[in-house]
Amino acid sequence: MELTETEREMLQGQHGPAAADALGLVVRFAEAVGATRLLPCASAHVDGCLYHGQASLDFVERFEVLGGRVKVPTTLNVGSVDLIHPELFIGDPALGAAGKRLMEAHVELGCTPSFTCAPYQTLLRPRFGEQLAWAESNAIVFANSVIGARTNRYGDFIDLACALAGRVPDYGLHRSANRRAGVTVELAGCADAGPDQAGGIAVAVGLFIGKHCGDTIAAITGLPACTSEDDLKALGAAAASSGSVAMFHAVGLTPEAPDLDTATGGRQVPVAARLGPAEIADILARLGTVPDGAPLTAVALGTPHFSLAEFGRLMPLLDLAPFAVPVYINTGRHEWERLLADGRAAALEAAGVTVVVDTCTYVTSIIRDLSGAVMTNSGKWAYYAPGNLDVDVAFGTLADTMRSARAGRVVRA
């Protein structure tokens, strides 16, 4: 391992025992993945603040005892409870208390209390080309693909170690040669789709590349001309949920893919699939577990966390209120503060919408009634919730979900 003078000093304890311990973990991790040097990282995003047992808390509290402080700007992923609206948590009080303590312990190490799965929507959004130590699968895909920053899929514990050391191993997607597309996915007949359909198309493509492309980077052609950043967010989240995807190229839309030749590095690569409206409809149909007309007990939105732009598209649909079933929307603190300031939070509350921050409804106990199906416009929520919550799901566009909330049953245009 090639270490700089500063890194050797850190390992010897000259920067404190916490930094020495953290860098030791990073070095051993680097050796395991075959890296020969470390890179300074510009920021970190830590996923380990979601409570999975006492080991999660022991790990963080050890660094607290050692006087640890993160060395780079570090955002936090969702935790186990909504610290702003603690009354929403209906799970085991002991688990809720442990989850709260874990979230607070990370803040005591100097992490920013963002508690969002979409740190790229905060004021700490990284820049093109920056080296990152990010965890949380959808955040990783978004940073690599949509922003053009560089991170591998870092998991619990090593994410915090990188933040405390300010270093990441030089391997994988930190290197330019490893960021080129190895396959293409061609869409046909989708370019003229409208904004409400573009999200569903993005989810379908994400599910396909997650299941069929593995860790091979896909270059996608033919996405709708109106594809938004939120649609690309949905694509990446679905891909990372259904497979080991850490990066994709949307040709003509993402920064490292102005054209197909640039995305592939000039190589001829195989076509993984050609998808048209029929194939996309079939993928989305298999995502749900209930038919049209099935009764609902809730609607869940915001996985990944709702952006301000998504709230902008939602607000006109509040005219459909009153809703027959509860509507839950997950979002980040950054967005929540803006909603409070401009009056939209009050409008959402008046319409009977419950806004959840700091966590997500598929990872913690918040939805009151799971006796029937839940409808969502999130491929990630639909993919994970049946296993996490033992609930049936219906997938639809944002407009579909709100019309269904009003009707109390699955309604699709």
The string of pLDDT tens digits covering residues 179-221 is: 999 999 999 999 999 998 999 999 999 999 999 999 999 999 9
Confidence of residue 59 (pLDDT cuts 50, 70, 90): very high
Residue reference for tokens 């891909």: 239
382 pLDDT exceeds 90?
yes
0.85 exceeded by pTM: yes
Q: How confident is the model at residue 142 (pLDDT cuts 50, 70, 90)?
A: very high
Do 124 and 116 contact (CB within 8 A), yes or no? no
Residue 307: predicted pLDDT: 98
The percentage of residues in the chain with a pLDDT greater than 70, rounded to a whole number, is 100
Cα 323 to Cα 326: distance, rounded to the nearest angstrom? 7
Contacts of 35 (CB under 8 A, 6+ apart): 1, 169, 170, 171
CATH 3.30.499 correct for 5-176: yes
Sequence ranges of the domains in the chain: 5-176, 180-285, 289-407
DSSP state of 323: P
Question: What's the rounded Cα separation, in Å, for the pair 314 and 332?
Answer: 16
Structure-token match 């130590």, residue found:
133
Q: Say yes or no: do domains 5-176 and 289-407 share a fold.
A: yes
- Name the E strands within 122-228: 132-134, 167-169, 183-187, 218-221
- Peptide bond before residue 304 is cis, with ω within 30 degrees of 0: yes
Residue 227, token pair as written in the block: 């594809």
What's residue 26's pLDDT?
A: 98
Beta strands 183-187; 167-169: pairing state: unpaired
In the structure encoding, which two tokens stand for residue 24, read together? 């030791």
Architecture per CATH, domain 289-407, reads as: 2-Layer Sandwich (3.30)
| Cα-based distances in Å from 141 to 20, 94, 153, 215, 316 | 30, 34, 9, 11, 30
In the block, residue with structure tokens 């509350």: 349
- Determine how β-strand 373-376 pairs with β-strand 43-46: unpaired
Compute the average pLDDT of residues 279-303. 96
Whether 343 and 65 have beta carbons less than 8 Å apart is answered as no
Residue 79 has pLDDT above 90, yes or no: yes
- When the pLDDT of each residue in the chain is averaged and rounded to a whole number, the result is 97
Which pLDDT score is estimated for 294? Answer: 96
For residue 220, what pLDDT is reported? 98
Report d(CA 100, CA 96) in Å as an integer.
6
Residue 231: per-residue pLDDT: 98
pLDDT over 90 at 413, yes or no: no
* Position 123 pLDDT exceeds 90: no
